[in-house]
Chain A
Amino acid sequence: MLAAAALLLLLLAAGPGRARRDALREELLLSPLPAGEVAATFQFRTRWDADLQRGAVSHYRLFPKALGRLVAALGVRELHLALTQGFWRTQAWGQPPLQAPAGAELWVWFQPTVTNVDKAWKELSNVLSGIFCASLNFIDSTNTVTPTASFKPLGLANGTDHHLLRYAVLPREVVCTENLTPWKKLLPCGSKAGLAVLLKAERLFHSSYHSQAVHIRPVCRDASCLAVSWELRQTLTVVFDTFSSGQGKKDWSLFKMFSRTLTDTCPLASQSKVYVDISPKNKEKELLEVTPTPASVHEAIVQGDKRTYAVYDLLSPSLFNTSRSLNVQLKWKRPQDSCYIHYQPAQDRRRPHLLEMLIQLPANSVTKITIQFERALLKWTEYPPDPNHGFYVSSSVLSALVPSISAMKNMDVEQSPLFTSLFPSSDGSSYFVRLYTEPLLVNLPTPDFSMPYNVICLTCTVVAVCYGSFYNLLTRTFHVEEPSRGGLAKRLANVIRKFRGVPPL
């Protein structure tokens, strides 16, 4: 008993000297986008105070062994791998937090000690294709480049010899559950606890944009930078279109997006936070309401803009006090632009399209509404006699309540003159007006109407000539005819012929 206790003490004493410190920080950023979507960016940072290049490291705790051995064996200084499905629409969504090209992107800086960089690159892409179940083994000299100006190292670097950099993109690469699963398995808590419980494939791939990335780089261990630590950053950005799937409301919650809520923290994480971007847009305050009430609010300048974030710290004990799960919800306090849309699609030859929208037009601005349509082919009997004139699309209607600068008096509509009765107002502050747009003349592709006639003529001719000839040949009968004796004129002619010595008729 005593011996066992002594042994334990000995092991504990020996422990801290050999163990290298590692830490996991997980963060989730939720940003509502201008067009109504929501972008969720996850970041899991594992930092390990070990030198993977020198010394045989055999005990891996938070840092995944597969990647650690890869870095050590192939002399990798920095590794950046991104798998993306979709495209970040900067015009509609604003600036992306982290963007990656569609497909698979891999760029790697090797250590100066690597002699044959191309061989190491090929081996690296093969190993990564096995780890992430992606066809990265298709990376070869035909799609690899060595950029000289872009893609400078993001971590510690002792000099940048560009021959040590390799960059390749596979645009045809598909991202699906089989790529997400090994990515999740690299996390210390997997997908069982912490922020990663939200990562369910069925919801993540039902999105407009999905990008997952792995970044490995060396960083300074502390301010003096005497030793090197390795940082593994796993990021995942996904954009959900809650507007079109949420019956036209821009409210969202964690449950609506991921069909899960946060229930537990990852016990291995030293920091676990959720940030919600509640920056006021268009200089209007108090538009967003976030539940539950955030513990603190953080302000920062991000990408040149001042932004406000609501912070939820999952590690603080008060968060899970009231309920076992955390479901962050965002509600819009005032009705937003186009909060009411009624759309009835057309049915061919039965009813037209109907689109009604309730819009709030901001002052001193131009609002453009565009609708795309396709021109269909009509049946040839449905064309009017002058089809080349085109077809008319009726005018759109704009009905508006326009605020009035001066207050109007409510008057009896029956007795009032023309100019007040035409623009009735229910209260003195605004008046009703209805405007119409120009009608649209659309040129539809017009067929050649003479073709049916041409076809009939041609077919009938062919039928008549071919069939008629055959019919003739098959049904014609031949019979011999007796020549007739001839009349008086013939007998006279024969007599003359006999005199001439010519055979008779």
Chain B
Amino acid sequence: VCTSRFWFNYRHVANTLSVYRKWLKCFCLIFHSHIVLMLADDMACNPRNPKPATVFSHKNMELNVYGDDVEVDYRSYEVTVENFLRVLTGRIPPSTPRSKRLLSDDRSNILIYMTGHGGNGFLKFQDSEEITNVELADAFEQMWQKRRYNELLFIIDTCQGASMYERFYSPNIMALASSQVGEDSLSHQPDLGIGVHLMDRYTFYVLEFLEEIHPASQTNMNDLFQVCPKSLCVSTPGHRTDLFQRDPQNVLITDFFGSVRKVEITTERISLDGDLAGFESK
């Protein structure tokens, strides 16, 4: 989820798209339909973008993280606190298409990545409203009650990000933030051709770390907690694991960043009735 609007917040869109692209390309079993992507503003086709239809994350303009086959599910004015909470809790109007729903059940592991401008206990949406850490914690509890997740990893890259996970109280949640309360998260590098900062430090180093992960990797969560020490990030990244039932040492990164298809073989006959699935988006 990218919650910032306006051209000078280019880096938040680049953050989100880089994570999206890393997910799709490096962990091949994830499909577009498994990801709900919310971008609060359009940077690629923004009239101020000197290279239309591109979003770059590195100052040498090596990698166009926007790509050719991105699918943005919620864009521009649709990215609101209400829509975000509705997607999480599943309370969506019945006519919402499948691509805009979080179709998870009690065996799904969910990764939530949020970036934007934040403060002590809140995250700003589009410069006009905020979501508080209490609302977020309650939304996660609703998800737990409705059995919408098995394990949940929450990553947030904003100023004072650690305040957002202070209030969680539902089990099986692990959280990572780019900075502690009272600290600002800083951006990584500007590009003089585009004229804005391209990425935030924490996300940059997390993605560098994820470069080495492949679907069969055995790296665990403790390694992810060590990413981006204060010397590189200037802020102190934080994490919270007390709600998680397993030991972080035993949790593989690929549990959240990869996808495992569990195949069940059955010899019974199953009859499919009428319209099972509504309309699908390809």
The interface of chain A, by Cβ under 8 A from chain B, is 64-66, 69-70, 73, 85, 122-123, 126-127, 129-131, 133, 135, 137-138, 172, 174-178, 181-182, 185-186, 200-202, 204-206
Contact = CB atoms under 8 A, between A and B. Distances in A.
Contacts of B53: 176-177, 201-202, 204-206
Contacts of A69: 279
B38 to A, nearest CB: 12
B247 interface: no
A178 B282 contact: no
Contact of A176 (B44, B78, B98): B44
Contact of A123 (B54, B78, B95, B100): B95
Contacts of B64: 202
Contact of A135 (B45, B78, B96, B280): B78
Contacts of B51: 202, 206
Nearest to A174: B42
B67 interface: yes
Contacts of A177: 44-45, 53, 66-70
* Residue of A73, A130, A135, A206 most packed against chain B (CB within 10 A): A130
Contact of A181 (B42, B68, B97): B68
11 contacts: A64-B282, A73-B279, A126-B96, A127-B97, A129-B100, A130-B97, A130-B100, A131-B282, A135-B76, A177-B67, A178-B70
B68 A66 contact: no
B281 interface: yes
Q: Is the interface of A mostly helix, strand, loop or mixed?
A: helix
A178 B72 contact: yes
B75 interface: yes
B96 A205 contact: no
* Residue of B64, B96, B275, B281 most packed against chain A (CB within 10 A): B281
Nearest to A202: B53
Nearest to B77: A135
Contacts of A123: 95
Contact of B281 (A130, A172, A205): A130
Contacts of B282: 64-66, 131, 182, 185-186
B130 interface: no
A130 B98 contact: yes
A181 B97 CA distance: 17
B52 interface: yes
A126 B45 contact: no
Given A130-B281, A205-B53, A200 B68 contact: yes
B71 interface: yes
A181 B52 contact: no
A85 B45 CA distance: 9
A301 to B, nearest CB: 37
B255 interface: no
Given A85-B45, A174-B76, A130 B99 contact: yes
Contacts of A178: 70-72, 75
B73 to A, nearest CB: 7
Given A131-B97, A174-B42, A205-B45, A138 B71 contact: no
Interface string B243-282: 0000000000000000000000000000000010001111
A133 B78 contact: no
Interface in B35-70: 42, 44-45, 51-54, 64, 66-70
The 7 closest A-B pairs by CB, nearest first: A130-B97, A176-B45, A205-B53, A126-B95, A205-B52, A201-B53, A178-B72
B16 to A, nearest CB: 13
Given A130-B279, A182-B282, A206-B52, 11 more contacts: A64-B282, A69-B279, A130-B98, A133-B75, A137-B78, A174-B42, A177-B66, A178-B70, A186-B282, A202-B64, A205-B44
A185 B52 CA distance: 21
Q: Is the interface of B mostly helix, strand, loop or mixed?
A: loop
Nearest to A127: B279
Nearest to B75: A135
A74 to B, nearest CB: 9
Contacts of B78: 135, 137-138
A165 B188 CA distance: 52
A182 B68 contact: no
B281 A182 contact: yes
A177 B96 CA distance: 22
A69 B282 CA distance: 13
Nearest to A181: B69
* Residue of A123, A127, A177, A206 most packed against chain B (CB within 10 A): A177
Contacts of B99: 130, 133
Given A178-B70, A178-B75, A202-B53, A131 B42 contact: no
A245 to B, nearest CB: 12
A130 to B, nearest CB: 2
Contacts of A204: 53
Contact of A133 (B54, B71, B275): B71
A175 B72 CA distance: 12
* Residue of B45, B64, B66 most packed against chain A (CB within 10 A): B45
A420 to B, nearest CB: 56
A129 B71 contact: no
Contacts of B281: 66, 130-131, 182
B52 A126 contact: no
B82 to A, nearest CB: 13
* Residue of A69, A126, A129, A135 most packed against chain B (CB within 10 A): A129
Contacts of B45: 85, 174-177, 205
* Residue of B64, B72, B73, B93 most packed against chain A (CB within 10 A): B72
Contact of A138 (B68, B73, B77, B279): B77
Nearest to A129: B97
A185 B64 CA distance: 21
Contacts of B54: 202
A66 B281 CA distance: 7
Nearest to B96: A126
A130 B52 CA distance: 24
A71 B93 CA distance: 21
Contact of A202 (B52, B75, B279): B52
A195 B185 CA distance: 47
A473 B76 CA distance: 63
B83 to A, nearest CB: 10
B95 A127 contact: yes
A407 B12 CA distance: 72
A67 to B, nearest CB: 10
A181 B279 contact: no
A175 B100 CA distance: 18
